[in-house]
Amino acid sequence: MNENEVIRLGGVTVRYGRKVAVDNVTLSVPRGSVYALLGRNGAGKSSLVRCLLGQQKPASGTIDLFGENVWRRRAALMERVGIVAEEADAPPEMSVAALTRFCAALYTRWDQELVDDRLRRFGITPASRYGELSKGQKKQVALALALAMSPDLLILDDPTLGLDVVARRSLFEEVISELADRGISVLMTTHDLAGVEAIADRVGIMKSGRLVLDDSMEALKSRFRRIRYASAAAIDASALAPAAVRAWGSGGEAIVTNYDDVAFERFRSASNVAGAEVSAMSLEEIFIAIAGEGAES
């Protein structure tokens, strides 16, 4: 693991009995970057996050945070990791103020002023009972607490799950603000692909426990293309080396994972498809093309 990496996973495998939930996953997260780990339900993301946090020991493989083994050094390493879980949870009768005091006692780099400021901006009073907060407010409290311990790494496990559009946008804006101010490294699992597309530097896509894609957002967006051609004739799209070809109206549609202008012109000339259209793909469209076929177990 080099000094520019905050996370390094090497050949991580997780099993539950005979079921392989995570299959030989290797990835790294560069310092100061935002890594979006994507996948359908059951793809293995949550198991990987639990291992990353030292909550679960993998069947095989290595997991390092800041150059140290997370299983052997968990207590010390978690001082540097802020977490917003998929389901924000705390005793429902506990006040936000009491919850804040409890968390403050656990961390040496606690910033109470930051928590107070965020709660004011969120419109959440310290006297509020946790159980009376909305789902969005609970996530906002969780984010405020995660950032108050001055983390070097922030892990967001599907943080926008169940939130409305306004709450999702607010949470992402808070994360973006912190990234700009402090350069915190982030690993995020999410189904909100439109939201994460604007902030992620790198994307990993899991399918059936395997990491089937790991690339920078810039490279990903540059090499994926949708090509549509309106022709009833049978057309050979093999020159494009497409990942998928399907019918589109009276013509066809090809999804290309390594688009090349020269290959496209060769295809258009050989097939006599003057009206072929090339369009860029959003992260959501790329994700569906890679992980959308079939059901995860």
CATH code, domain carrying 96: 3.40.50.300
Q: Residue 180: its pLDDT value, please?
A: 59
Residue 279 has pLDDT above 50, yes or no: yes
Q: Do 100 and 158 reside in the same domain of the chain?
A: yes
- Say whether both 240 and 110 belong to one domain: no
pLDDT band of residue 4 (cuts 50, 70, 90) is confident
Which pLDDT score, from 0 to 100, does residue 296 have? 47
Q: Is residue 1 part of a domain?
A: no
For β-strands 34-39 and 202-207, DSSP reports them as parallel
d(CA 156, CA 248): 38
Give per-residue pLDDT as tens, 48-105.
Answer: 999 999 999 999 999 999 999 999 999 999 999 999 988 878 999 999 999 999 999 9
Q: Which of 168, 210, 174, 222 is nearest to 192 (CA)?
A: 168
- Give residues with Cβ within 8 angstroms of 12, minimum separation 6: 22, 24, 25, 26, 48, 51, 58, 60, 61, 62, 63
Give residue 72's pLDDT. 92
Percent of the chain scored above 70 by pLDDT?
Answer: 91
Residue 179 lies in a domain: yes
* DSSP output for 93-114: TSBHHHHHHHHHTT-TT--HHH
In a domain, 70, yes or no: no
Distance of CA 80 to CAs 4, 42, 87, 109, 285, Å? 16, 28, 21, 9, 35
* Residue 297 domain-assigned (yes or no): no
Gap between the Cα atoms of 57 and 14, Å rounded = 8
- Is 22 a domain residue? no
Mean pLDDT of 19-35: 94
Contact 188, 156 (CB under 8 A): yes
Residues 211 and 237 in one domain: no
Asked if 251 and 214 sit in the same domain, the reply is no
Domain that holds residue 254: 225-280
> In the predicted model, is pLDDT for residue 234 greater than 60?
no
Whether the predicted pLDDT of 245 surpasses 80: no
Check residue 73 and give its pLDDT. 93
Q: What average pLDDT does the chain have?
A: 87
If asked whether residues 101 and 142 sit together in one domain, one would say yes
Domain count, the chain: 2
In the predicted structure, residue 290 carries a pLDDT above the cut 70: yes
Q: Which two tokens stand for residue 178?
A: 């912190």
Domain assignment present for residue 16? The answer is no
Strands (E), 160-290: 185-189, 202-207, 210-216, 225-229, 244-248, 251-256, 277-280
Check whether 232 has a pLDDT greater than 80: no
> What pLDDT, in 10s, does the model give residues 155-185?
999 888 878 888 888 878 877 767 756 778 9
Does one domain contain both 98 and 171? yes
pLDDT: which is higher, 38 or 293: 38
User: Does 20 reside within a domain?
Assistant: no
Neighbours of 55 (CB within 10 A): 11
Sequence-distant (6+) residues with CB within 8 A of 114 are 144, 147, 148
- Residue 128: predicted pLDDT: 96
Express as a percent the part of the chain with pLDDT over 90: 60
Tokens of 219: 């490279």
The residue behind tokens 């973006």 is 176
Q: What angle do CA 180, 84, 15 make, to 5 degrees?
A: 120
Residues 254, 177, single domain; the answer is no
